[in-house]
Amino acid sequence: MDYANNILETIGNTPLVKLNKLTAELPCLVLAKYETFNPGNSVKDRMALQMVEDAEEAGVLQPGGTIIEGTSGNTGMGLALAAVVKGYKMICVISDKQSKEKIDILKAVGSEVHVCPTDVAPEDPRSYYSTAKRLSQEIPNSWYVNQYDNPSNCKAHFLSTGPEIWEQTNGKVTHFVVGVGTGGTISGVGSYLKMKNPNVKVWGIDTYGSVFKKYHETGIFDENEIYPYVTEGIGEDILPLNVNFSVIDGFTKVTDKDAAVYTQKLAKEEGMFLGNSAGAAIKGLLQLKEHFTKDDVVVVLFHDHGSRYVGKMFNDDWMRQMGYIE
Ligand code: PMP
């Protein structure tokens, strides 16, 4: 018999899938690391499990304890799965710009969800960063995960996602392109691939309203770069410790409209029903066209599944209201 002992054992070993139509104008091979095959439907299952197991080992997460995290949904899902299997309580603190589907999904897997306003500064007591921290101080036997600064986030991708991409491409990968939020994915995969071959180029996808691109290019944390945006999952108004700028060769920014339109295109032209950051990632990759040549093998990572966006990027009324389609 061939079976996993619990759902957590099915995390990782996701397929690599060739893009055919959307990338037809490019000279190179483009392969998608297709992370929705994880049991929580996103790449975040990998780092969630790593963070929980490292916290158990360090003794900061004790039997019967409560896991608390400020999460846009996918990390919460991964943590919730680990909590269910391992017997912890899970509390997710989420910002009100996230889709209703994400909140309902977290509740479905047993999480308590607190919704906080988006348009306040991170240090404001109402922000989801502050609320998560406060709850962890108030609730006994609780552990605040802090995916932004928790080194197990980046480590998960160095230990699993990076090696998988290297082996699946037979070491032929030349470029890695991925959306950046906490920075765990780009930093973990990027440092693994560059350790195997220093010539691999690593590109981050950023969004308008986020600080990453300007900071990478100038070393300046420019508050003028910060304003509300629609794209989900990528961009930040802080510099998380998990963003290792030294393994990143460059950033490109994608507009909210382009990210939404390309999320639809992935589904309709490639049969890839994916989240909003996948739309941003593929559009960003197309913006980088001049950097790719005939023999290149470009890997783009798609973080999560389309089901979480049916009320938004896959709803034409919403798309029209936003002015993204006619
Ligand atoms: N896309 C989605 C849908 C996400 O949830 C996240 C995590 N915030 C990212 C991209 C960015 O990944 P990372 O946090 O590893 O930079």
Q: Looking at this predicted complex, what is its ipTM?
A: 0.99
- Report the alpha-carbon distance of residue 35 to residue 20 in Å, rounded: 18
The pLDDT tens digits along the chain (326 residues) read 999 999 999 999 999 999 999 999 999 999 999 999 999 999 999 999 999 999 999 999 999 999 999 886 899 999 999 999 999 999 999 888 777 877 888 999 999 999 999 888 888 999 888 999 999 999 999 999 999 999 999 999 999 999 999 999 999 999 999 999 999 999 999 999 999 999 999 999 999 999 999 999 999 999 999 999 999 999 999 999 999 999 999 999 999 999 999 999 999 999 999 999 999 999 999 999 999 999 999 999 999 999 989 999 999 999 999 999 99
CA of 233 to the centre of ligand 1 (A): 5
CA distances from residue 14 to 36, 41, 184 in whole angstroms, order as listed:
8, 11, 18
Residue 113: enclosing H or E segment and its boundaries? Answer: strand 112-116
Contacts for 186 with CB less than 8 Å, ≥ 6 apart? 176, 178, 180, 202, 204, 243, 244, 247, 248
Catalytically active residues are 44
Residue 128 corresponds to which tokens in the numbers above?
């989801």
Please name the residue whose Cα sits nearest to atom 5 of ligand 1.
233
Q: Which residues line ligand 1 (CB under 6 A)?
A: 44, 72, 74, 179-186, 233-234, 275, 277, 303-304
- Report the alpha-carbon distance of residue 9 to residue 299 in Å, rounded: 25
CA atoms 197, 287, 269, 230: torsion sign:
positive
CA of 272 to the centre of ligand 1 (A): 18
Residue 60 corresponds to which tokens in the numbers above?
């900061």
Spacing of C-alpha 88 from chain mean position: 24
Please name the residue whose Cα sits nearest to atom 10 of ligand 1.
233
Atom number, ligand 1, closest to the C-alpha of residue 180: 16
Residue 48 corresponds to which tokens in the numbers above?
């969630």
